[in-house]
Chain A
Amino acid sequence: MLTRELVEHFGGPVSIVVGTRDAHLRPAFTRVFGIVGAVGSPSITLFAPEVMSGRMLADLRDNGQVAVQVTSWATFTSYQLKGTVTGIVPAGADAESVIAHVRDQVVAITSGIVSERFAVGWSKYVTTPAVAVTFEARDAFLQTPGPRAGARISG
């Protein structure tokens, strides 16, 4: 399911945001700081800071529905993936290196294209301890603004 392009995208300086909803269909938003997947597999794992994830986890335990947008600060290419959660566990040690790698890239790039102060603010986000949320992606869309926005990504 995941293309090489998508997997490489996950490893860049990305902003990762998650949409969920509760039992009453009220939507919620959470920012997470790591995402990993394997080429050809539909399984994707997010690393979400515990301190930020209360609402998200409650929603996922209620209905399992998740939407994730991953946008590169470097190219502004953006994808949205939708699926159903298959597992929620405390994140392992490998999560920290993934989170740190993404964060360091984002800090470096935003200090140039936004401001140094913003980059410092980004580096202060509490990212650990983290929760690993795994979901099976059933759809992936290109979401970069432009004529191809909304196109389904096949893999």
Chain B
Amino acid sequence: MIRDEMLPALQGVVPSHIATCSADGTPNVTAISQVYYVDRTHVALSNQFFSKTRRNLDENPYAFVQLIHPETAHMWFLELRFLRSEAEGPLFDAMDMQLEAIASLQGMHGVFKLQSADLYEVLSVREAREASLP
């Protein structure tokens, strides 16, 4: 599902976005530092600040993520289903290190503290070809 040409978009060079919805039907949209590639059908998102997103996912596990390629500005849309949260372990450590690597250069230590690594199943991937002129 996740193709190689999408991988640069996962690096957090240009923030991705996630849309969620609470049980009472109120949508929420926010930016994400990075979408971490786990394998072709799974990604992990860093849970840092967006407690509203987490609360929504606990009520309603579906999410919609937009990725932008940092070289071409191409967009991809991913439909995801939240599986679980990991506050320790190899996935958490790997994401925590990547966040620290970027935050260290922005002088934002501590602000980017990773609360958990949230694992998702990728349900669909669509490239938004119609969004751009050739």
Contact = CB atoms under 8 A, between A and B. Distances in A.
Question: A and B bound?
Answer: yes
A145 B27 CA distance: 20
Interface in A56-114: 63, 65-69, 71, 78, 80, 82, 114
B122 to A, nearest CB: 15
Contacts of A9: none
Nearest to A51: B130
Contacts of A80: 28-30
Nearest to A59: B27
A39 interface: no
Interface string B101-134: 0000000100110000000000000001011110
A121 B21 contact: no
Contacts of A82: 26-28
A69 B21 contact: no
B47 interface: no
A29 B68 CA distance: 13
A21 to B, nearest CB: 4
B27 to A, nearest CB: 4
Q: How large is the interface on A (under 10, 10 to 19, 20 to 34, 35 or more residues)?
A: 35 or more
A27 B61 CA distance: 10
Contacts of A25: 21, 23, 25, 60, 62
Given A25-B60, A31-B66, A115-B70, A20 B130 contact: no
Nearest to B48: A145
Contacts of A152: none
A143 interface: yes
Interface in B56-81: 60, 62-66, 69-75, 77, 79
A126 B132 CA distance: 5
Q: Which of B18, B26, B130 has the most chain A CB atoms inside 10 A of its CB? A: B26
Contacts of A146: 111
A27 B111 contact: no
A27 B30 contact: no
A63 B130 CA distance: 25
A102 B112 CA distance: 29
Interface of A: 17-21, 25-29, 31, 49, 51-52, 63, 65-69, 71, 78, 80, 82, 114-115, 117-118, 120-122, 124-126, 143, 145-146, 149-150
Given A145-B49, A145-B112, 8 more contacts: A28-B19, A68-B29, A114-B70, A115-B70, A124-B133, A126-B130, A143-B30, A149-B49
